[in-house]
Amino acid sequence: MKVTKDLVAASATPMVLGILAEGESYGYAILRRINDLSGGELDWTEGLLYPLLHRLERLGHVESSWQSPAGERRRKYYRITGTGLAELAEQRRQWDTVVDALKKVWLGPGDLRMLRPLEGGA
């Protein structure tokens, strides 16, 4: 099962902001982290990640700097800002609402586990 493109795009901003809230990071590491978190089910591309990072930077949610840690390559590190944290909190509130609503409807009459026997009986 792969998550659809629309859903990946919709969850992209809170995902990146959430990862950067754990601490500053760079592009390749962020993609690795997303891969680990989702067990490889979220299909992120560089074409999604880097323009998104640049947009978040333009909006002031993250800031970037080129750093060369000892023994490593020069890299562009991204760090979440105050407005970025506020944005993350807002996105989280919205996602919680969506997830809660979905959970309620799936545990209620719309539960797939209850639909399947009905289909089979028809």
Partner 1 sequence: MTVPDERDDLEAQFTQWRQYVERRPELRRSDADELEDHLRGSVDGLIESGLRADEAFLVAVKRMGGLDELSREFAREHSERLWKQLVLSGDTDSPVAGAQPRRDLLALIVCAAGAAVSIKIPALFGMDMEQDVAFFARNISLFAFPWLAAFLAWRRQAAPALIAVLLGLFALGAVAANVHPLAEDSQSLVLTGIHLPIALWFAVGLAYVADDLRSSRRRMDFVRFTGEWFLYLGLIALGGNVLIAFVFGTFEAIGIVPEAFIIQWLLPCGGVAAVVVAGWLVEAKQSVVENMAPVLARLFTPLFAGVLLAFLVAFGWTGGGIDVERDALILFDVLLAVVLGLLLYSISARDPLAPPGLFDRLQLALVASALVIDILVLVEIAGRISEYGTTPNKAAALGENVILLANLAWSAWLVLGFVRRRTPFAALERWQTGYLPVYAAWAWVVALAFPPLFDYL
* Residues making contact with partner 1 (CB under 8 A): 26-29, 31-32, 45-48, 50-52, 54-55, 58, 66, 73-76
CB of 26 to partner 1, least distance (A): 7
Nearer to partner 1, 18 or 25 (CB): 25
17 CB neighbour count, 10 Å cutoff? 20
- Half-sphere exposure of residue 67: CA atoms within 13 angstroms, side-chain side: 11
Edge-to-edge strand ranges of the sheet holding 25-26: 25-26, 75-80, 62-67
Nearer to partner 1, 27 or 91 (CB): 27
CB of 74 to partner 1, least distance (A): 8
Nearer to partner 1, 54 or 103 (CB): 54
CA distance 49 to 16: 8
